[in-house]
Amino acid sequence: MTNKSVAQICAFAAVVALPTLSWAGTASKPAPAPQKLSESVISGDIGVSVVTAYYYRGVMTANHSYSVQPSANLNIKAIQGDDFSATVNLGIWSSHSKPGAAQGAKNPQNWTEFDFTPGVTLTFGKISISESLHFYDYPNGLTSESFEGLNSKISFDDSDLLGALALHPSLTHMKELSGKAALAVKTNGAETGGNYWEAAVAPSASVGPVTVTVPLTVGFGSGKFYNKNGYAYFAAGLNLGYALPMPSNYGKWVATAGATYYNTDKEVTGNKQENDLVGSLGLGVAF
């Protein structure tokens, strides 16, 4: 074999190897890591519940038949830190009862109440403080005036302390600014400026796809909020939430069913009965 032939063979081998070396270099280069999507600052939920009676803070507003109650909430996280966050909350809620079911209604329209509740929530570690304005309107004539109030709530996340036995306690205060809230069913033009206080816990546990919650609430009020000062009601519920098997990009869907027992002071609330049991069914989606 001549030197020229050897040179030609080497040149041919080099040409053939070049693409292979190039591909090998490309294949061995690590693929770029997928970018982690940042958490959305906007969250919320939409839902609807059907209850066998509607109680507002211990006062029966619609008697036993049915009330359909749609709701929607939008939360915008304005500030997010390691131990502090500030969230703007916007909520709407409505109650539609069987015609004639609303106590004291001036006409048989079934739109009992519409609420708008803008507010802000400040979270310091495990403690959350919420301030919200409550605007209530009564389309079926429960009262001749709308209601405005300031609702303050402080809650504590005790999950790290108690684990599965966490109580999720909260304290709430409502101050009437104008109109009437609890006694809209009973009175028109009553003196405003009442105060309402509430203490609540809501322990819960998960059993497979079902979440069991036992909310316990006790409410007190002033004579301007109720008929007289003192204890107004105690409520104990048993709620079941079932996570529906929906694709994650469609939000988190939950079907609910529950029952709530009410014990009320008739002289304070103006109710016709002291004890009652209310059932509920619901469907909601969180995003």
Please name each of the domains of the chain with its CATH number.
42-286 (2.40.160.40)
Q: What tokens were used for 69?
A: 């109650």
**Helices and strands (H, E) in the chain, number of each type:** 3, 17
User: Phi/psi at 10 (nearest 5 deg)?
Assistant: -65, -40
Distance of alpha carbon 136 from alpha carbon 183, whole angstroms: 13
CB 181, CB 190: distance < 8 Å: no
Question: Does the model's pTM come out above 0.85?
Answer: no
The pLDDT value given to residue 24: 38
Helix (H, G, I), strand (E, B) or coil at 40: coil
pLDDT tens for the 287 residues of the chain, in order? 444 444 444 444 443 444 433 333 444 555 555 555 567 899 999 999 999 999 999 998 888 788 999 999 999 999 999 899 999 999 999 999 876 555 555 554 688 889 999 999 999 999 999 999 999 998 877 666 789 999 999 999 999 999 989 999 999 999 999 888 865 445 544 577 899 999 999 999 999 889 999 999 999 999 889 988 999 999 999 999 999 999 988 999 999 999 999 999 999 998 989 999 999 999 999 99
Which helix (H) or strand (E) segment is 263 a member of? strand 252-264
Q: 230-261 burial, b if ≥16 CB within 10 A, otherwise e?
A: ebbbebebebebeeeeeeeeeeebbebebebe
Distance of alpha carbon 199 from alpha carbon 148, whole angstroms: 22
How many CA atoms, within 13 angstroms, populate the side-chain half-sphere of residue 241? 17
Q: Which is it for the CA torsion 22, 28, 31, 33, positive or negative?
A: negative
> What's the DSSP call for residue 165?
G
> What's the DSSP call for residue 92?
E
- From the list 55, 49, 147, the residue with the least C-alpha distance to 101 is 55
